[in-house]
Structure 1
Amino acid sequence: MKKFRPQPGFVVQAFRFALDPNAVQEAALRSHCGAARAAYNWAVAWVEASWWQRRAEESYGIAEDGLTRWRPWSLPALRKAFNEAKHTDPRFAAWWEENSKEAYSTGLANAAAAFDNYAKSKRGQRKGKRVGMPRFKSKRKARLSCRFTTGVIRIDTDGRHVTLPRLGAIRVHEPTVKLLDRVRAGTARILSATVRHERGRWSVSLQTEVKRDLTRVARPDTAVGIDLGVKTLAVMADSTGEIRTVANPGHYDAARKQLRRASRTVSRRQGPDRRTGQKPSRRWEKANAQRNKVHHRVANLRQDALHKLTTSVAAEYGTVVVEDLNVAGMLRNRRLARRIADAAFGEIRRQLDYKTRRRHATRLVVANRWYPSSKTCSGCGAVKAKLALHVRTFECDACGLVIDRDDNAALNLAALAAACVTGTGVAGDQDTAPAVSKPRGADRKTRATRPRHKAEAGRAGGAALPHQRQEETRDRPQTEALMLW
């Protein structure tokens, strides 16, 4: 599919609303999402059938010219083959007319994207983990989702209903006045709609082309460094020296007692068993729904708190500095995994990324993963070789500074923003040569900063001051400390 490019001055933004469908509409929504899943499974089976056929023919000794032709997996090819098969295939012939064509197009588009990812990953053209062959989607586990790109997609004039193809007008839980006013003023245009069942609730996401004006922040000349943690969710220190602490709400820990009680009730009911084919009882389904409701509430509270935090930061500061944390590696720590997952470090980074780009007046600076923000003294720049995690107070051996560990890290991150602006060889300076990598794959261990010998200082023309002794060490990590995100 051709990638959509917004007009100059416009950006693509999604507006999400919670739906309130009646029983008939909910059944239609589930039917559309099931049709998308069925079309996806059909496409996977149709493409892979030629693969297995060719493999069987090769085992028979058939030459390359006599093998079955490869079946294409592009979206136009899948659409053409599906339109020819839906009239005669017993899996679709009896009911395919009940749903919109967009439901089947959603499944075929997802299958085409899955095969593309598999092919690119196999050729080494795709970043990240290696992607395997597309697998069939289970009716029990697949996420209910369907996308509409054509047809009647609009927000009704009353501001409380959304109209979708073949589904009609569906009531929403919250008013759609903000988007409706933009559409009426001509500063927004709806491109597509995606319905999804998530956290026990149906929602619709309207992808729109919105005119975005330049938004000025409250303090454009101030930079803030954000140090994320478990005990304290975030410690923010700006370039003026002001330090602000954001407490960790701990939504999951607060709900653990309620979750234990709900899980105990579920375990005492007759649940499903795939090995014996046992179906769950009605009491188990009711108890499981109550337990899921607790999980959904915790997720909603966490999302609300993170959005409020990131929105306030992006609206106040001109430069935001965060760390490139290895969240996946941190989750391997069985002692802290639950609290790290509850804090959602990766989600904070993701929200700051798009919210700072949306405002155009705020930039996001990502510190290198190996930058020793906690081990570096914010006063003189001395770097400790080791600093255990249980040590919560930083004590500098050079200047004697005593400061909280998290406050010290946040101050160092805020100082990196100034280094990026002045141009000290950091990433982002276009005219500066990149740092030379260390030979033999040298490790990333932090080197301790030690004062020079008195005799050496005397030969240099006098005793060196503490901040002079640290200049060489401070410049080294800053060479590769920043990445403009």
Structure 2
Amino acid sequence: MLQHKAFKFRIYPNHEQAVQLRKTLGCCRFVFNHLLAKWNHTYQDTGKGLSYSTCASQLPAMKREWTWLKEVDSIALQSAVRNLADGFQRFINKQNESPRFKSRKHLVHSYTTRYTNGNIAVKGDRLQLPKLGWMPYAKSREIEGRILSATVRLAPSGKWFVSVVCEVDILPLPLTDGILGIDVGIKQLAVTSEGLAMDNPRYTLRYERLLAKWQRILARRKQGGSNWSMAKRKVAQIHERIRNSRLDVIHKQTTRWIRENQTICIEDLRIANMMKNRHLVKHIADASWGEMSRQLHYKANWYGRVIKETPTFAPTSQTCHVCGNKQAEVKDLSIRVWKCSSCQTVHDRDRNAAQNIKAMAL
């Protein structure tokens, strides 16, 4: 089955290419903000916004007025207009708030260009992008399929990355009889219905002291200076290390689950509501349950697996999976092992929840 798959790499532009990349980011931001102001003005006057075609038709006049817009990739400017139109379409459909103006002080900057007439190419350990030419990249794997687009991103740590989106024919995995229930938590990141537990590495706590040290250094330095910029970049690098370590663990585990099981049962959690608990918010964010669920869903779609979810408020921890008796006092998170008052079965809290998740989802 043909699927869209992104291949992300770090790129190493030279000085001239880095200048051109920053110009492209600035021009895309300028076009987005300029057309956003026009859209807002029209919406206030008429109650209707501007369509994508109306906005895109203004690009030639903008290039004549501001000639420096011609120095960058024209497809990237069109993508900025497309992003604006998509943002307002979601706003009209009440899917999100209205688009906001972009700032050069934002932590992450990116632009997207589409594949046209071989303008994006890969040869060995070098990558070609429009208006930039060839540049080295960290080749960690081969790019497969037909190239569709590329998104260039400047991370807060100062590193440049590119995500090449390709159309790939992904073959489903062989069918298996495995059915797995997964209960996520904080003490242990996940416990399966088979009794296997996945330890929570807690990378935020692991780097907490180092992060606090550099945040103190950053707070004491004069904003805008070279030492302040260095400290800011160091803080961003620590956050990036935490994120990469966390994603590495989750990717490996979700791939293993997808390969070994045909059906995977998980909870439909309201994570945004759970994050309102000020005592647990840091640990819930560090656990990345939402990212784990996202990876399971798209990998299951790729490889022909099935994801089933239990209802949000199902009492999976309080219900005995043997006899179905419910004990409300088990709702207390400090109770890790409990005994069913009906059938006298002794339960481990997380494994019992995983068994219930599996049964309720099926």
TM-score range, shorter chain: over 0.9
Matched, 1:195 2:152: yes
Equivalence map 1:431-446=2 (5 Å): none
* Aligned with 2:60 (options 79, 83, 87): 83
Q: Which residue of the partner structure matches residue 260 of structure 1?
A: 212
Secondary structure in structure 2 of the residue aligned to 1:140: coil
Determine if contact 2:4/2:167 at 8 Å carries over to the other structure: yes
Determine if contact 1:394/1:408 at 8 Å carries over to the other structure: no
Equivalence map 1:40-79=2 (5 Å): 40-52=32-44, 54=45, 73-79=50-56
Secondary structure in structure 2 of the residue aligned to 1:87: helix
* Aligned with 1:33 (options 21, 25, 29): 25
Measured in 2, the distance between the counterparts of 1:47 and 1:235 equals 50
Tell me the CA shift for residue 302 of structure 1: 0.7
Tell me the CA shift for residue 147 of structure 1: 0.9
Alpha-carbon displacement from aligned partner over 1:152-173 (angstroms, at most 9, x marks no partner): 3444332x11111111112111
Query: In the superposition, relative to structure 1, how do residues 48 and 414 fare at CA in structure 2: closer, same or farther (>3 Å)?
Result: closer
Tell me the CA shift for residue 412 of structure 1: 1.7
Measured in 2, the distance between the counterparts of 1:35 and 1:234 equals 45
* Aligned with 1:379 (options 322, 325, 331): 322
Measured in 2, the distance between the counterparts of 1:72 and 1:245 equals 52
* Aligned with 1:340 (options 254, 270, 284): 284
Query: In the superposition, relative to structure 1, how do residues 83 and 155 fare at CA in structure 2: closer, same or farther (>3 Å)?
Result: closer
* Aligned with 1:140 (options 82, 105, 112): 105
Q: Which amino acid in 2 is paired with 1:224?
A: L
Measured in 1, the distance between the counterparts of 2:128 and 2:90 equals 33
Determine if contact 1:102/1:150 at 8 Å carries over to the other structure: no
Query: In the superposition, relative to structure 1, how do residues 199 and 313 fare at CA in structure 2: closer, same or farther (>3 Å)?
Result: farther
Secondary structure in structure 1 of the residue aligned to 2:328: coil
Q: Count how many residue pairs are aligned between Structure 1 and Structure 2.
A: 359
User: Segments of 4+ in structure 1 off by > 4 A?
Assistant: 69-72
Measured in 2, the distance between the counterparts of 1:251 and 1:150 equals 38
Matched, 1:216 2:174: yes
Measured in 1, the distance between the counterparts of 2:191 and 2:149 equals 39
Query: In the superposition, relative to structure 1, how do residues 28 and 71 fare at CA in structure 2: closer, same or farther (>3 Å)?
Result: farther
Measured in 2, the distance between the counterparts of 1:47 and 1:270 equals 38
Q: Which amino acid in 2 is paired with 1:292?
A: A
Higher relative contact order (CA 8 A, sep 6+): 2
Q: Which residue of the partner structure matches residue 285 of structure 1?
A: 229
Secondary structure in structure 1 of the residue aligned to 2:57: helix
Alpha-carbon displacement from aligned partner over 1:233-262 (angstroms, at most 9, x marks no partner): 11012xxxx310111001000001111211
| TM-score (normalizing by structure 2) | 0.94
Q: Which residue of the partner structure matches residue 138 of structure 2?
A: 173
Q: Which residue of the partner structure matches residue 202 of structure 2?
A: 250
Determine if contact 2:156/2:233 at 8 Å carries over to the other structure: no
Measured in 2, the distance between the counterparts of 1:133 and 1:256 equals 35
Alpha-carbon displacement from aligned partner over 1:351-388 (angstroms, at most 9, x marks no partner): 1010111101x211111112111111122221123421
Measured in 1, the distance between the counterparts of 2:31 and 2:108 equals 14
The alignment-based identity, stated in percent, is 31
Query: In the superposition, relative to structure 1, how do residues 199 and 234 fare at CA in structure 2: closer, same or farther (>3 Å)?
Result: farther
Alpha-carbon displacement from aligned partner over 1:110-151 (angstroms, at most 9, x marks no partner): 111122222222xxxx4xxxx343321112116311111143
Query: In the superposition, relative to structure 1, how do residues 153 and 311 fare at CA in structure 2: closer, same or farther (>3 Å)?
Result: farther
Tell me the CA shift for residue 72 of structure 1: 5.4
Measured in 2, the distance between the counterparts of 1:411 and 1:132 equals 39
| TM-score (normalizing by structure 1) | 0.71
Q: Which runs of 5+ in 1 are unaligned?
A: 1-8, 55-68, 183-187, 272-279, 421-485
Determine if contact 2:221/2:228 at 8 Å carries over to the other structure: yes
Measured in 2, the distance between the counterparts of 1:250 and 1:338 equals 10
Q: Which residue of the partner structure matches residue 189 of structure 2?
A: 233
Q: Which runs of 5+ in 2 are unaligned?
A: none
Q: Which amino acid in 1 is paired with 2:336?
A: R
Q: Which residue of the partner structure matches residue 163 of structure 2?
A: 205
Q: Which amino acid in 2 is paired with 1:133?
A: S
Q: Which residue of the partner structure matches residue 349 of structure 2?
A: 405
* Aligned with 2:70 (options 69, 91, 97): 97
Matched, 1:316 2:260: yes
